[in-house]
Amino acid sequence: MSDDEAEAVLTVLSTEECLRLLAEHPARVGRITAASERPDILPVNYCLDDHGMVVLRTEPGKKLDAAARGRFVAFEVDEMEPEARRGWSVLIRGWAEEVTDAEDIARLRQLPLRSWAPGSRDHFVRIRPEIVSGRRIT
């Protein structure tokens, strides 16, 4: 075992800490699983709404298809400092759903959710967290 490994500390994060890290993450980039015949892991821009749900804007495709079918998905965000060998990871597992209610859509449009990818991204998907977990290595 190296000296670096001996000094590392692994901490399990509370749900509250996990949600705080997601809300404060400056890049607001995560990954979502989307499965049809074969699973994919897709990068997405996200935001948390007032109810602690992960919100994505997307165009028609795998993410929207998974949401429209009410699939159980996994969503992950990491922050790494490779040189210091520290960072954190948050994993949310829950049910994806397409947001179709006009009032909900109007509310979600007010969130600071901007896609890095080109395109209209007019569809909203939210993930209702069922399992929230996270770890930090310091």
The per-residue pLDDT string of the chain (138 residues; one tens digit each, 9 = 90 and over) reads 555 556 889 999 999 999 999 999 988 999 998 766 677 888 899 999 988 899 999 888 777 677 767 788 999 999 999 888 899 999 999 998 999 999 999 999 999 998 888 888 888 999 999 999 999 999
Give the number of other CB atoms < 10 A from CB of residue 90.
24
**DSSP letters for 33-63:** EEESSSEEEEEEEEEE-TTS-EEEEE-TTHH
Q: Residue ranges per domain, the chain?
A: 3-130
Asked if CATH classification 2.30.110.10 holds for the domain at 3-130, the reply, yes or no, is: yes
Residue 3's pLDDT is 53
Query: Model-level pTM?
Result: 0.85
Residue 5's pLDDT is 53
